[in-house]
Structure 1
Amino acid sequence: MADRLNGKIAAVTGAASGIGLAATEALIAEGATVVMVDWDEAALAESAARLGGAAIAQVTNLLDPDSCKAMLPEILGKVGHLDILYCNAGTYIGGDLDETDPDTIDRMLNLNVNAVMKNVHAVIPHMKERGVGDIWVTCSVAGHTAVPWEPVYSGSKWAMTCFVQTMRRQLREYGIRVGQLSPGPVVSALLADWPAENLRKAKESGSLIEPSEVADALVFALTRGRNVTIRDMVVLPTGFDI
Structure 2
Amino acid sequence: MPAQLKGKVAVVTGAASGIGLASAQAMIAEGAKVVFVDRDEEALLALCEKHGDAAVPMVVDLLDAQACKQLIPRILEAVGVIDIFHANAGLYVGGDLVDADPDAIDRMMNLNVNVVMKNVRDVIPHMAARKTGDIVVTSSLAAHYPTPWEPVYASSKWAINCFVQTTRRQVFKDGLRIGSVSPGPVVTGLLADWPEDKLAQAKASGSLIEASEIAEILIFMLTRPRGMTIRDVVVMPTNFDL
Tell me which interval the TM-score lies in, with the shorter structure as reference length.
over 0.9
- Name the structure 2 match of 1:116: 116
Question: Residue 70 in 1 paired to residue 70 in 2?
Answer: yes
In structure 1, the partner of 2:27 is 27
Amino acid at match of 1:14: G
CA distance in 1, matches of 2:102, 2:196: 23
**Partner residue in 2 for 1:97:** 97
Looking at structure 1, the residues matched to 28 and 38 of structure 2 have their Cα atoms a distance apart, in angstroms, of 17
Distance (Å, rounded) in 1 between the aligned partners of 2:87 and 2:156: 14
1:149-228 alignment, distance < 5 Å: 149-228=149-228
- Tell me: CA distance 1:31–1:238, structure 2 relative to 1, closer, same or farther (3 Å): same
Unaligned runs of 5+ in 1: none
Q: Per-residue deviation at 1:235?
A: 1.5
Shift of 1:12: 0.2
Matches within 5 A, 1:48-63: 48-63=48-63
Q: Secondary structure at the match of 2:241?
A: coil
Q: Which amino acid aligns with 1:221?
A: M
Amino acid at match of 2:118: K
1:238 paired to 2:222: no
Instruction: Report the equivalent of 1:10.
Output: 10
> In the TM superposition, what is the alpha-carbon distance from 1:2 to its structure 2 partner?
4.0
Letter in 1 for 2:194: W
Q: Distance between the aligned counterparts of 1:89 and 1:83, measured in 2?
A: 18
Matched-pair contact (CA < 8 Å) for 1:2–1:29: no
Structure 1 moving runs of 4+ over 2 Å: none
Whichever residue aligns with residue 25 of structure 2, its letter is E
Alpha-carbon deviation of 1:238? Answer: 1.2
What's the TM-score once normalised by structure 1's chain length?
Answer: 0.99
Mapped pair 1:140 → 2:136: no
Q: What amino acid is aligned across from residue 203 of structure 1 in structure 2?
A: K
Deviations 1:91-132 (A, max 9, x none): 101100011121010000000000000000100110111110
Q: 1:98, 1:162 → 2: CA distance? A: 26
Q: Percent identity?
A: 60
The CA RMSD over aligned residues, in Å, is 0.8
